[in-house]
Structure 1
Amino acid sequence: MANALNDRADRNALASGTVAAAAVILLLAGLLDLLRGVMAIAEDEVFARTPDYTFQFSTTAWGWIHLALGVLALLAGLALFRLALWARIVGVVMASLLIVANFLSIPYYPLWSLTVMAACVFVIWGLCAVRR
Structure 2
Amino acid sequence: MTQQPTTPQHLPPDAHAGAKGATSPWVAGGTVFAGVVLLVDGLLNILKGISAIASDDIYAHINNYVYRFNLTGWGWVLVIIGLIAVITGLGLLTDALWARVLGVFMAALSLVANFLWLPHLPLWAIISIALDTWVIWALTAHRSPRSAAL
Identity of aligned residues (%): 39
Runs of 4+ with >4 A deviation: 4-7
Aligned to 1:58: 70
Unaligned 5+ runs, structure 2: 16-21, 145-150
| 2-structure distance, mates of 1:114, 1:13 | 27
Q: Which runs of 5+ in 1 are unaligned?
A: none
Q: Deviations over 1:87-118 (max 9, x none)?
A: 11110100110111111121122122222222
Change (3 A) 1:61 1:12: same
Q: What's the offset of the Cα at 1:13?
A: 8.6
Match status 1:131 vs 2:132: no
Which structure is higher in RCO with an 8 Å CA cutoff and minimum separation 6? Answer: 1
In structure 2, which of residues 49, 55, 59 is the aligned counterpart of residue 47 of structure 1?
A: 59
TM-score when normalising by structure 1: 0.86
Matched, 1:8 2:20: no
Whether 1:33 and 2:34 are equivalent positions in the alignment is no
Distance, in Å, in 1 between the alignment partners of 2:94 and 2:6 is: 27
- CA separation of 1:22/1:42 partners in 2, compared to 1, >3 Å: closer, same or farther? same
Question: Larger deviation: 68-77 or 42-51?
Answer: 42-51
- Secondary structure of 2:7's aligned partner: helix
Matching residue's letter, 1:20: V
CA distance in structure 1 between the aligned counterparts of 2:124 and 2:51, rounded to whole angstroms: 12
Contact 2:114 2:128 in 1 (8 A): yes
Count residues with an aligned counterpart: 132
What's the RMSD between the two structures over aligned residues? Answer: 2.3
State the distance in 1 between where 2:41 and 2:120 align.
17
1:40-92 Cα distance to aligned partner (Å, 9 max, x none): 11115331111122221111111111111011100100111221322111101
